[in-house]
Structure 1
């Protein structure tokens, strides 16, 4: 028997965080409203044990799946295979999302039989971050693709038709962006409320995180997006649903000239973005582009 909402939580060594993300999802959810599938992949800590402890004391169904190798794509595939919900959400273990916000989003997604993907608005918590990181995110949160129609960066949800469109997930670094690019802007829904992501606390951690995102985006640019219904794969190039012009570094410079963002913040943003691109290029030359890149600064803060 299906439930209204399934949530897949991929988790690699997320012991300090899995309690937090599950508490947000489960609090207020009635039995039969929600199922959660935690996929512990390649863990060397107590992620699975903590998730099972939550399952033992929670009324909504919580399943725990363990995979031997660290792979987010494999974790997503395993979780989606077990999900029975009319709407399926993917929630990263390092974000905070409450059940009322997720329920409101799923209500919107269930109103149409057309393919839809959605997410609540995104809020970035920079508490405890260094000043360059705070400067970076003051600019990043003003980018057009973040402010309107943002899907991913830790949370996305699909209605039944949207899930069918995705099919099997490819082996990509940036799964959020791949999902976002699989839907036209008018097929993306922004739900009421917000979820919280936690910024990397140090410059080094931020650059490493953004390098992985940049590598993932460049890989996606070389791939073909999933074709629209009735179209052959060649009919929809990878650029079909790329972020619109106005999201790049030149746009940041233009925003600074128009005084929409502080010049000092724009300088920091540009410098860190270029550093991330350089690191990504170096990783690609070394053949380590696909290495796991987890930000331990936010994990340490959560466990403290």
Structure 2
């Protein structure tokens, strides 16, 4: 059995798809699924129950809090933490389980971007970003991560951080975590330029928060030189790279403005991808 925790805030549009993708092909007793409906004003909890998940309801909004509540209800190890808008199938889950059984303390699938309905500039940004981090993927941005019992002790109790997957990623060295080839999560990124900028600003602020908490990133920051190299190698188009740089500049401005206004701790779901 694998315990699965899904934190869901007003996710009635996607929660059934998420759960059906996960449970299709599962054997009886193979999954212990807990959905934490946090501060929901829609039918998320009812839909999750109809899909035979155990449901915890709380009036308190916040993903870190919701993950903690769900974690307390888990019956076993390892444990999978899955975003409500991400699709992960049983083949991928079993491959992740194999990685844990072979010694990884934490692992994640390789994200596959579904760019249907994404605007032209937003799609260009996502393609460039995906190419830039292809050789250095970790546990962040995949929409799912699995922890062994030992790995769980590194992460929980989860502090009230903005970026839970960033906290998890930075809790392990490169030799302790694994991006599992052959395991895929379908991620639907922000569809509009405005949504991309807002999300990237939140990521930037979340990373800053982790730095202040002493969870420094092991990897060096991505630099302009890496982008130039990809352009020269014709792996990235010039127009795509320009769109990418404009979005980065914009999200840096938005992040700075949010720090000035004192709203840097705010975090909300990207509704453009629902």
Residues 162, 267 of structure 2: 8 Å contact kept: no
Matches within 5 A, 1:213-228: 213-225=203-215
Q: Which residue does the alignment assign to 2:162?
A: 173
Shift of 1:35: 0.5
* Counterpart secondary structure, 1:200: coil
Residues 39, 79 of structure 1: 8 Å contact kept: yes
Distance (whole Å) between structure 2 residues aligned to residue 131 and residue 270 of structure 1:
15
Q: Is 1:193 the equivalent of 2:198?
A: no
Which is worse superposed, 131-140 or 164-173?
Answer: 164-173
Q: Which residue does the alignment assign to 2:220?
A: 244
Q: Is 1:150 the equivalent of 2:138?
A: yes
Distance (whole Å) between structure 1 residues aligned to residue 87 and residue 118 of structure 2:
18
Q: Which residue does the alignment assign to 1:228?
A: none
* Counterpart secondary structure, 2:145: strand
Distance (whole Å) between structure 2 residues aligned to residue 130 and residue 119 of structure 1:
27
Runs of 4+ off more than 4 Å: none
Deviations along 1:94-114, one digit per CA (max 9) or x if unpaired, are 1111112111111220222xx
- Among 248, 259, 267, which residue is 2:234 paired with? 259
Q: Which residue does the alignment assign to 1:77?
A: 68
Q: Which residue does the alignment assign to 1:134?
A: 123
Runs of 5+ consecutive residues of structure 1 not aligned to the other structure: 56-61, 226-237, 300-304
Q: Which residue does the alignment assign to 1:12?
A: 9
Compute the TM-score of the two structures, normalised by the length of structure 2: 0.94
Distance (whole Å) between structure 1 residues aligned to residue 95 and residue 137 of structure 2:
16
* Counterpart secondary structure, 1:196: strand
Q: Relative to structure 1, is the Cα distance of residues 283 and 250 closer, same or farther in structure 2, using a 3 angstrom cutoff? A: farther
Shift of 1:161: 0.9
Q: Which residue does the alignment assign to 1:44?
A: 41
Q: Give the number of equivalent residue pairs.
A: 272
Q: Which residue does the alignment assign to 2:263?
A: 288
Residues 8, 36 of structure 1: 8 Å contact kept: yes
* Counterpart secondary structure, 1:30: coil
Deviations along 1:184-219, one digit per CA (max 9) or x if unpaired, are 111111222311101211111111111111110111
* Counterpart secondary structure, 1:185: coil
Distance (whole Å) between structure 1 residues aligned to residue 255 and residue 268 of structure 2:
12
Distance (whole Å) between structure 1 residues aligned to residue 135 and residue 121 of structure 2:
21
Shift of 1:152: 2.8
Distance (whole Å) between structure 2 residues aligned to residue 99 and residue 71 of structure 1:
27
Q: Which residue does the alignment assign to 1:203?
A: 193
Q: Which residue does the alignment assign to 2:98?
A: 107
Distance (whole Å) between structure 2 residues aligned to residue 222 and residue 151 of structure 1:
20
Distance (whole Å) between structure 2 residues aligned to residue 10 and residue 272 of structure 1:
28
Shift of 1:257: 4.0
Q: Is 1:270 the equivalent of 2:267?
A: no
Q: Is 1:117 the equivalent of 2:106?
A: yes
Distance (whole Å) between structure 2 residues aligned to residue 147 and residue 194 of structure 1:
16
Shift of 1:83: 1.2
Q: Which residue does the alignment assign to 2:149?
A: 160
RMSD: 1.5
Distance (whole Å) between structure 2 residues aligned to residue 13 and residue 249 of structure 1:
38
Shift of 1:250: 4.4
